[in-house]
Structure 1
Amino acid sequence: MKSIYFIAVILTLSSCAGRRTMHSEKREWISAFKNTVIISAVEQQDKKMSKDISTAINFDLIGNTRYYKIADSIGKKFRNAIEPSIVLDFNGAKAIFNSALDYYTSKELNSLSEMYYKQYYKEKYYYPSGS
């Protein structure tokens, strides 16, 4: 009887740990995807970013060239869609960093990140390559 109880406890704890790991993986992937979008949106503003290793870290966390390119493309499209300032003193310049920071926390980017993570997850765990 004790051994059955012990096995049940071990199985329960291991399933909880597995869920926590999957949740952590999802959180890291979504964060890396969103980071890639924002870096793509702002990187042409600052040439010093070429020495920043953040893009390599995000690429490793996303773990898939296709989704990295999607995030990069979203960031570039977002940057191009930012409207110039209407304040005359700014001579039509764009508030790219402020806009990008707002976009990072937006429902739109959260929704896109979730959607692409679900696609990535299905491809990785349900349709692995070579099957």
Structure 2
Amino acid sequence: MGAAADREGMPVPAMVQPGNTPEELRAALVRLAPESVPTFDAERAEALRSARESVSAAPMRRFTGQWAIQVAIERFPERAARLRELEARAAEVEDVEEARAITSEIGAILDVARAQASIGQEPGTA
């Protein structure tokens, strides 16, 4: 996947944010982060079970929303790598100020991805 993006901040070529349907999100994950597909499939099955039990679409909406954000992150390899670095550092950091800075940067990445996932456009990159 490292060669997928030639320029910093650019999405994987020809990869636009997919629609927020399980099928489109799964197809995007197959291309962007195939290692995530088993988790996606398991969580989808659980969300479907929960939706049927509760006779509510809410579990599926939560599921697709969560995975749309993940796809939005993975579309930008540098952003995905930075998020993984920050998460790893957050698990080890002991300094409160550094922890706050890490949390702030993670939040900014998630905010941009959330915006891209909800509107399917490119409001900016983090």
Q: Does the TM-score normalized on the shorter chain lie above 0.5?
A: no
* TM-score, normalised by the number of residues in structure 1: 0.30
Q: Which has the higher contact order (CA 8 A, sep 6+)?
A: 2
Q: Which has the higher helix share?
A: 1
Which structure has the greater CA radius of gyration? Answer: 1
* TM-score, normalised by the number of residues in structure 2: 0.31
